[in-house]
Structure 1
Amino acid sequence: MKRTFRRKSVRPGSKKRGKRIWLDPGSSYRLGYERGYAQGTVKGEKAFDQPFHGTSIVIPSYNQAEYLVRCIESIETHTIEPYEIIVVDNGSTDETGDYLKKRTGQLRYRLLETNRGFSGGVNQGLMMAKGDTIVILNNDTLVTPGWLTHMLRCLKSDPIIGAVGPVTNYISGEQQIAVPYETVEQMWEYAASRDKPDVTKWKETDRLVGFCVLFRRELLGRIGYFDEGFRIGNYEDDDWIIRVRLCGLKLVIAGDSFIHHFGSVSMKKLGQEQFHAVHGHNELYYTGKWGNPHVWVDEVKQNGSLFRNGCPSNAGSPSDFFPSHVFIRDQGGQQYFLYEGNKYPCTAMEEKTGIRPVVLSRLDIRSIPTAEAVMDEKVLLSVLKSPIDGPVEGQLVGSGDGIVYQWRKGCIRPFVSDFALERWNLKERSILNLSTERLQFAPRGLPVIAPPILQNPVL
């Protein structure tokens, strides 16, 4: 093996000649590699929590590699703002993984072993996103000139706007518009003619579809992740949007932003029988979770507790719609007792009380203030006892009409559904019957909603 050498350095002013030191090229390479790896690790750790002053574009993907490639190419061609692309692949069996592994530039990805559906894929991407703003984008879309520019302008025009969506050629609801083209080639000419900012084309709406939706990063702290109780696709975006509206935030269609949508490519591949099974399950899950969600949105609006001087107040974090007097835990196993808006760390309470803690995301748990004082275990157990002669803090009450409330600071907070009661492991708690008149005249607080189901232990 050929050997190399270098001279030992000599201090300035010294008359001594340097000695020859023989080096093994393999050893030199290893030392350089280890030094570079250590420096890169330190730099990566320092940058991990640093925000990215741009937009994170989260793309869930399942097979259909050719659509994904075209979607990413359209982003790179027609996006002038700072951005990063995050692709979460739901266990594709085609060449999607190979394509992503060869990619370079402003793209990060994660390859999941199984198909966790739209919600699971999006949640993984949201966890990875670093941008000040975030776009959730279907892989079967082509973005066009000005698409992000116009949506960002709309979002930033008013702090009360929670989420913005574009118009498109193929979708359900108000975001679909009539288009004159028949082919993708014709589409590009049409899209170029639309690349003009136009405030008159902005329209407030009650629903945005998740094929493309833009929002501020802070919204995640108020809304939380998507519910993974939905299968593969359909209704999970409606569920998330309802939570945005419950926080008193507006939804706006930016009509001057246009993207082309091929349309439910992954869902169509399921086949009619499987598609109907998935759709039916998700529809039942959605209605069982909410009943009529628009009733609750209207009630919160009329209540006015989320607004101060016409603007959203600090209320509206996930915990504002959680009950009191319940055990919760994160997916790492840390347990807390949720009591009067604070969380009290505790251990082994399931064995002592027989009550299972409700698993919440770390994002949701971080939104709940940690109590400064430590709750004595005897006090904790005493607050779980049912009263005999009247409602106390945290007591479940009702009048026999099917609606269950939680008594909180002289107000009653309705559970939006039996499913919400069950998700909080309160189905077996005793309910104190009150007269209809007493419930009718009691002040009403914010409704109690079901927390999303999560499958991933790191969210």
Structure 2
Amino acid sequence: MNRKKTGVRAKDAALRYQAGFERGYEQGLAQGREAFGRPFHGTSIVIPSYNQLDYLSRCIDSIETHTAEPYEIIVVDNGSTDGTEAYLNRKAGRLRYKRLETNRGFAGGVNQGLMMAKGDTIVILNNDTLVTGGWLTHMLRCLESDPRIGAVGPVTNYISGEQQIPVPYNDVEQMWEFAAAFSRPDASKWRQTDRIVGFCVLFRKELLERVGYFDEGFRVGNYEDDDWMIRIRLCGLKLVIAGDAFIHHFGSVSMKNLGRERFETVQGYNERYYAEKWGNPHAWVEEARQLGYRGADGEAEPCGSPADFFPTQVLIRDQGGRQYVLCEGKKHPCSGMEEKAGIRSVVLSRLDLRSIPAAEAPMGEQEMLALLRPAEGGLSDGQIVSCGDGTVYQWRQGSVRPFVSDYALKRWNLKERNIVHLPPEKLRLIPRGLPIIAPPVLENPVL
């Protein structure tokens, strides 16, 4: 009898425990869902990583030691096989991480981290770096000094371009001594530049709404940061080097591990892709600067969204298959238009699509079809025009907008549209609008 009562009590206790566990789980799940979209008033530090556990752990240690401001660390593991996942599991209470099954390269890893970031500001940081005292303090001070600053980068011992400075040390121990003396707030060391290298870059989260994600068409690494910086500058925003913020950079560790032959293959591919995509990017930045986005003081004003540099009268969709007609900077929802119009849609990120305002008035199917197939033989909105000088334009409301490259024309699936040829002397008299750029290639289905 006693054994029977004991068994009943044990069963009741087990049921109560299970019920309590389920209530706790549901409450935790609800709280997690509620907190997921809650902004974080601090800086999200995004670190893409692949098979460099020793460098990664030292980088994270340096952040925890030398960062005074509120921050969160987000590590994106690009399918490492060196114990990185186990390390991140052990650190799970002090950082957030995402493991990708395959190596999606620097751009793919960064994009995943950007999607996860909750901070008001974001830092993209290489795993082969060591941050030093005051690094984030000085960079944030620089960023907050001017709303027209799009991105800020530090100085370092090892990088290409203007951010490299001479240093007196020969090893990491000496580096800490140098950095302690170097790290003094000094706005006179801030300087505007045309290029910030992506080994460490700080920006406001709202910048993503204007520029979008990194282009995953670049392989492994290199040039995707240059591409992103050009897009920032096209928007009328500044790039600034915070010369009072120092970070030690071991230097291109992941790229060096590719081996010389594969490194040269990747480097060559990315260089060609960048050139094919942009042609002369600095000329397009200057043209956009001359065309507009100017405030009362004559300084460039930032553009509103990536759609300012997208064409009109094209079919777009997200990676879930929802279709829209993009017309005059507005999106019109539609369905089945690929088959009806006999054209291919262009895949954009959900981030880019969210930044494009929705049309206020609905558009009928026949009107959409007419927009996507401009009448041949004349100048109507959406028509592709050229004078045979190598540049192709889109006609829009009495002006022409140049495609920055033939790649951009193909990327928007407009290569097959008939071209209206104009005499050069006539084309020169037509007002020019903002250049049309190619949207980034995206491999991640959730972006």
Whether these two folds match at TM > 0.5 is: yes
The CA distance in 1 between the partners of 2:317 and 2:272, in whole Å, is: 27
Q: Which runs of 5+ in 1 are unaligned?
A: 6-19
1:434 alignment counterpart: 422
CA distance in 2 between counterparts of 1:437 and 1:173 reads: 41
Q: Deviations over 1:344-390 (max 9, x none)?
A: 11111111122100000000011111112221111112223443553
| Residue 177 of structure 2 corresponds to residue 186 of structure 1 | no
TM normalised by structure 2 equals 0.97
The equivalent residue for 2:125 is 137
Distance of 1:453 and 1:2 partners within structure 2: 67
Give % identity.
Answer: 69
Could you say which residue in structure 2 is the equivalent of 1:118?
106
Counterpart of 2:265 in structure 1 is 277
Matches within 5 A, 1:215-294: 215-294=203-282
5 Å matches for 1:76-87?
Answer: 76-87=64-75
Instruction: Report the CA distance shift for 1:201/1:218 in structure 2 as closer, same or farther (over 3 A).
Output: same
Q: How many pairs are equivalent?
A: 445
Structure 2 runs not aligned, ≥5 long:
none
Q: Is 2:351 aligned against 1:357?
A: no
Q: Which of residues 178, 186, 199 is equivalent to 2:187? A: 199
Distance 2:154 2:246 in 1: 6
Match of 2:236, SS?
Answer: coil
1: CA distance, partners of 2:296 / 2:321: 37
1:174 equivalent among 133, 141, 162: 162
Letter in 2 for 1:451: P
Per the alignment, in what secondary structure is the counterpart of residue 239 of structure 2?
Answer: strand
Contact 2:236–2:293 under 8 Å retained in 1: no
Q: TM-score, normalised by structure 1?
A: 0.94
Bigger helix share: 2
Deviation of 1:409 (Å): 1.5
Give yes or no for the alignment of 1:90 onto 2:78: yes
* 1:115-168 deviation per Cα after TM superposition (whole angstroms, max 9, x unaligned): 000000000000000000000000000000000000000000000100000000
> What is the CA–CA distance in structure 1 between the aligned matches of 2:30 and 2:224, rounded to whole Å?
38
| In 1: Cα distance, 2:428 partner to 2:236 partner | 24
C-alpha distance in 1 between matches for 2:332 and 2:352: 15
Superposed displacement of residue 46, structure 1: 1.2
1: CA distance between counterparts of 2:273 and 2:225?
13
How many angstroms does 1:310 deviate by? 3.8
Q: Which has the larger radius of gyration?
A: 1
Q: 1:78-114, CA deviations, whole angstroms, 9 ceiling, x for partnerless residues?
A: 0000000000010111011110011143300001000
Question: Are 1:208 and 2:207 an aligned pair?
Answer: no
Letter in 2 for 1:115: N
Q: Secondary structure at the match of 2:145?
A: coil
Compare 398-407 and 70-79 and name the one that shifted more. 398-407
In structure 1, the residue corresponding to 2:243 is in which secondary structure? Answer: strand
C-alpha distance in 1 between matches for 2:90 and 2:298:
50
| CA–CA distance in structure 1, aligned partners of residues 195 and 219 of structure 2 | 20
SS of the equivalent of 2:208 reads helix
Which string of whole-angstrom CA distances, capped at 9 and with x for unpartnered residues, describes residues 14-33 of structure 1? xxxxxx98862221211111
**Residues of 2 paired with 1:295 and 1:3: CA distance?**
86
Going from structure 1 to structure 2, the CA distance change for 1:352 and 1:4 (only over 3 Å counts) comes to same
Question: Helix, strand or coil for the counterpart of 2:162?
Answer: coil
Structure 2 distance, partners of 1:150, 1:350, is 50
The one of 403, 409, 418 equivalent to 2:391 is 403
Q: Which residue of 2 is the match for residue 103 of structure 1?
A: 91
